[in-house]
Structure 1
């Protein structure tokens, strides 16, 4: 098992799974796929493979990273007909999100953070779940960091500022905070989701998940 820190994509996948059942939680529809696409795009930017501003997405380095899900996204962005802005890149990468999620889930199972459970619904339909492994601190770490970040009004590292923006876009914050807590943290939430220039530039694209801007104050996170 590797002790490497979890990536943005791995953490957003973990946050989007119910602890006990291992089934997806959060927003329905395209939201989970676009949130994962946003995580992969942000991760590529943090790795120095792409750069972005409000209007452009620039391929800086097309060399593989060694992360299968990330490299599949990088290959998409390196194609001659790839979008030239972040807003176009999100739906492009979302097309491959189910395959990327499967690779990430397999990796988390291999690391011992998740268990793969194969069931059947009505004895016919296959039902695959990924309950979180008990006693592993990694499965709760992202949630604990996001809670501390907002409740204690801490300044985030770039990784956590981006993770918070994605968790908000995917509708995961009500699963991490109570309604009263969400109401109390709205002012600091608005500050944090604007801190990173990368988060600001990708915010327009990821906001399509919610249908509203990431900077607006909403009780549902």
Structure 2
């Protein structure tokens, strides 16, 4: 099944039974990072070289549409990627800025898509009979299980990930969820986390792509740190 990396990330972070999201406080940044990573893998965007220690590196379009160089089977004219590329084309922005911009409202967009495709079920309910809440339990977890097997093969079995799986693992590492989304019998959580970080910096894509992915992962990690600090402070 053709899905975006952001959709696969969302499926992995959703509890199949409860329909609630792990890492909800920084989910938007993680999903925005997934869109940016996918565009980097498609060679539609690149990270410019830093010319000053006082200026952060910016992301800029390469001039190639996502479908022109896509190395996997994502939908060639996907509106999420098209919208993301349009945002990047507006002006040069840092990865930190972009993961937040691209992630705004993306959970709602992606859950609607996944419901339409029969992968999730939308359940509307009220907590204590008053407060509305939406949950998205799995309706058909076949695709998610396939993705989870690929992630587990890389994290636990030592398989060399393809670029798509490598990028997904890097994003999971950024939100500190790699050890939570796979069964790692025989390995400790610390070992799985270490393996995820090793994969995130591994040689599974061309250098220009890896640089863009690394900058995106760093931006997501910064967003996670900020969200965690804000939660701890009671904001």
TM-score range, shorter chain: 0.7 to 0.9
**1:59 and 2:71 are equivalent in the alignment:** no
Query: What aligned pairs does 1:196-207 form with structure 2 within 5 A after superposition?
Result: 196=205, 197=210, 198-207=212-221
After TM superposition, give the deviation of residue 211 of structure 1 in Å: 3.4
Which of the numbers 106, 113, 122 marks the counterpart of 2:119? 113
* Aligned residues of 2:175 and 2:221 also touching (Cα < 8 A): no
> Hey, what does 1:141 align to over in structure 2?
146
> Hey, what does 2:222 align to over in structure 1?
208
**1:75 and 2:89 are equivalent in the alignment:** no
Q: Which runs of 5+ in 2 are unaligned?
A: 50-56, 67-75, 227-235
Deviates more, 1:137-146 or 1:9-18: 137-146
* Aligned residues of 1:62 and 1:75 also touching (Cα < 8 A): no
> Hey, what does 2:102 align to over in structure 1?
93
**In 2, distance between residues paired with 1:61 and 1:21?**
42
**In 1, distance between residues paired with 2:222 and 2:190?**
23
Which of the numbers 120, 131, 137 marks the counterpart of 2:137? 131
**In 2, distance between residues paired with 1:184 and 1:174?**
9
**In 2, distance between residues paired with 1:142 and 1:53?**
31
CA RMSD of aligned residues (A): 2.5
**In 2, distance between residues paired with 1:190 and 1:174?**
11
**In 2, distance between residues paired with 1:153 and 1:93?**
32
Q: Which runs of 5+ in 1 are unaligned?
A: 213-221
- Local SS of the residue matching 1:22: coil
* Aligned residues of 2:121 and 2:136 also touching (Cα < 8 A): yes
After TM superposition, give the deviation of residue 189 of structure 1 in Å: 2.8
**In 2, distance between residues paired with 1:202 and 1:7?**
16
CA deviation profile, 1:145-204 (whole Å, cap 9, x unmatched): 211111111111111111001112223223224594323335533321112414323232
TM-score, structure 1 as length reference: 0.79
Aligned residues: 201
